[in-house]
Amino acid sequence: MQTYFADMHIHIGRDMYNHPVKITGAKTLTLTNVLKEASRNKGIDLVGVIDCHSPHVQAEIKQLIAEEKAYELTDGGIRFEKVTLLLGSEIEIYDDHCQGPIHVLCFLPSMMAMERFSEWLAERMKNISLSSQRYYGTAKELQYKVKELEGIFIPAHVFTPFKSLFGKGVRKSLQEVLDPVLIDGIELGLSADTEMADQIAELQNYTFVSNSDAHSLAKIAREYQAVQMEEPSFKEFWWVLHGIKGRKIVSNYGMNPLLGKYYSTVCKNCLRTLSAGESICGECGSVNIIKGVSDRIKELADASDRVKRPPYLYQVPLEYLPKLGPKTFAKLLKRFGTEMQVIHYAAQTELAEVLPPKIVEMIMQMRKGKLAIHAGGGGKYGHVES
């Protein structure tokens, strides 16, 4: 078996006809561009594009197959150059059992299965062509349909304050909304790591995944995982999630939770950081408070011990490093091939031939998870201190 890099939450900004799919996604974030970026520049082996329910996105995939630029794998997924695409869909649930909207990721093994899923969704969704649309039905009915089509079901960015399972979706337990047996994994989101999530007992039975939720090409692989499997395919990834035949996540790579834009509790009006329990901002007097992921997890924490997890290694995309601009980034790709090669494998002496000493030292510190971080909150990302 080999180790591969996987980022399983990437949006589409525009379809092949230049129509919007994810309204907030970049116009350059097309299906073909995602595959090229992952394969040629990022060095990601397995990508989950979660807008494949859109008929026009499916049309672009079929076009790539017709032009012999891509092909379907027997074990599920679409191979393009050096990357495998898993066909996914992000869906918003808000049924009678939810306290607030919940986003979930659904992955299907083949084009035929995704087309059947889209037909089913089109009867329960106002606009099947757009991303992250409201689904009119119960959460469990959606789970049953995904499993009928032999798919994968993963609650998305489960701790973010808005549109997530533990943000506002449930009061205390995922069982208020979902069938726990039909969940294949838990996506942590950009403001939590495995140690934080493992404070909640009911999550300890699930594999944790860390993904980018990319809305632009540059954001692909800002979070990802290294997975051990025979080859990048749908079946192998399902085995990874369930620890079958030695398949597993080797390590999660993600930004320090302090970098996440919802880590701290803040005043929505002035963005002042508040301590747990503060209901009125002492700076401006506003009562409009955005509860941070850290404080929300403390409310939910009920685990008496921790389970053994793969290491969660803090790092950031190269573009987050101060003073590493586009020209320098281009030099790195020319020398080392992909961003994964720079982040994981390039020797310090090799990096020193391309980069100033201070940036080389930042990359070395990043590999150790020791970059100095200024915390984010209230929708504003943290940043690496220079």
> What is the mean pLDDT of the segment spanning 174-188?
97
Give the H/E segment covering residue 9: strand 2-10
> What is the mean pLDDT of the segment spanning 328-351?
91
Q: pLDDT band for position 245 (50/70/90)?
A: very high
Report pLDDT for 373.
Answer: 66
Longest CA pairwise span in the chain (Å): 62
Please state, rounded to an integer, the average pLDDT across all residues of the chain: 91
> What is the mean pLDDT of the segment spanning 329-338?
91
Ordered by where they begin, the domains of the chain are 2-257 (3.20.20.140)
In the chain, the percentage of residues whose pLDDT exceeds 90 is: 71
Cα 140 from chain centre:
22
Range of weakest confidence among 38-42, 274-278, 348-352 = 274-278
Report pLDDT for 205.
Answer: 94
Q: Which residue has the tokens 């992909």?
A: 338
Report pLDDT for 115.
Answer: 98
Q: Which two tokens stand for residue 270?
A: 């002035």
> What is the phi/psi pair of residue 68, to 5°?
60, 30
> What is the mean pLDDT of the segment spanning 6-27?
96
293-314 in b/e burial notation, b at 16+ Cβ within 10 A? Answer: bbbbbeebeeeeeeeebbebbb
Q: pLDDT band for position 47 (50/70/90)?
A: very high
pLDDT tens figures, 265-302: 888 888 777 777 777 887 787 878 888 888 899 999 99
Nearest to 115 by CA among 128, 130, 102, 105: 128
Asked if 185 and 205 count as a contact pair (C-beta separation under 8 A), the reply is no
Give the span between the Cα atoms of 119 and 209, in whole angstroms. 28
Report pLDDT for 65.
Answer: 98
Amino acid at the residue 4: Y
Q: What is the 3-state secondary structure (H, E, C) of 145-162?
A: HHHHCCCEEEECCCCCCC
Give the span between the Cα atoms of 191 and 295, in whole angstroms. 11
* DSSP letter string, 253-300: EE--GGGSTTSB-EETTT--B--TT--S-TTT----EE--HHHHHHHH
Give the span between the Cα atoms of 331 and 290, in whole angstroms. 41
Q: Where are the alpha helices (DSSP H) in the chain?
A: 31-36, 55-66, 111-122, 139-148, 194-197, 234-242, 293-300, 326-336, 339-340, 348-352, 357-367
Residue 21 three-state SS: coil
Nearest to 103 by CA among 149, 181, 50: 50
In the chain, the percentage of residues whose pLDDT exceeds 70 is: 95
Residue 354 three-state SS: coil
Q: Which two tokens stand for residue 63?
A: 């076009």
- Residue 184 pLDDT > 70: yes
pLDDT tens figures, 159-172: 988 899 999 899 99
Cβ neighbours of residue 330 under 8 Å, at least 6 residues apart? none
Give the span between the Cα atoms of 129 and 182, in whole angstroms. 26
Q: Measured between alpha carbons, how far is residue 114 from residues 38, 111, 140, 175, 233 in Å?
A: 22, 5, 19, 27, 15
- Residue 374 pLDDT > 70: no
Give the span between the Cα atoms of 66 and 202, in whole angstroms. 45
Report pLDDT for 386.
Answer: 61
